[in-house]
Homo-oligomer: A and B are copies of this chain.
Amino acid sequence: MASSSSYSSSPCAACKFLRRKCMPDCVFSPYFPPEETQKFVNVHKVFGASNVSKLLNEVPTYQREDAVNSLAFEAEARLKDPVYGCVGAISVLQRQVIRLQRELDATNANLIRYVYNEMPPRPPPPPPADQQSYGFCYPYQWTDPNEDNEGSNGGNM
């Protein structure tokens, strides 16, 4: 029954899970191939198959894959963190942006002081360990959105 195509005769993950016949015009089939059951289970659990189907029908075909992927991402985040879901990631990122902007402004001010007034600048402090890498990987950074409340906009949801 395994198939490499989303459009095969195997029922898609959605129809398999919902125990219904997968018709050739199934709205889920192109985005939930038979082997991606968990992706559908997550989306169904958080949004409901009916809401996802409605949303897909309102979105142009060329954007449906993006829509499904963003729904799957949100669903996974909500299942991992039922209280904040992916809004926790937004709070973490917002605080990171505010902190980096402040640090950049301070460093620029220091540099400008030297350039225009010829005052020796203080050496910049080393960046904190969590800012040394560009590789921000959001699925692992939102487990505790309250861990750092300084200067946050995250509480105004």
Is A3 part of the binding interface, using a Cβ–Cβ cutoff of 8 Å?
no
Known: A47-B48, A93-B93. A87 touches B74 (CB 8 A): yes
User: In chain A, residues 80-138, which have Cβ atoms closer than 8 Å to a Cβ of chain B?
Assistant: 82-90, 93-94, 96-98, 100-105, 107-108, 110-112, 114-116, 120-121, 123-124, 127, 131, 134-138
Is A45 part of the binding interface, using a Cβ–Cβ cutoff of 8 Å?
yes
- On whether the beta carbons of B97 and A82 are closer than 8 Å, the reply is no
Chain B: CB-nearest residue to A108: B124
Interface string of A59-77 (1 = CB under 8 A from B): 1000100110111111000
Checking B45, B58, B105 against A82 with a beta-carbon cut-off of 8 angstroms, the contacting residue is B58
- On whether the beta carbons of A70 and B83 are closer than 8 Å, the reply is yes
A residues contacting B by CB (< 8 A) are 45-48, 50-51, 55, 58-59, 63, 66-67, 69-74, 78, 82-90, 93-94, 96-98, 100-105, 107-108, 110-112, 114-116, 120-121, 123-124, 127, 131, 134-138, 151, 153, 157
Q: List 27 A-B contacts (CB under 8 A).
A: A46-B51, A47-B47, A47-B48, A47-B51, A48-B48, A59-B83, A63-B83, A66-B84, A70-B88, A73-B157, A74-B86, A86-B86, A90-B90, A90-B93, A90-B138, A93-B94, A93-B96, A96-B97, A97-B100, A97-B136, A101-B131, A108-B124, A111-B124, A116-B123, A135-B153, A136-B153, A137-B153
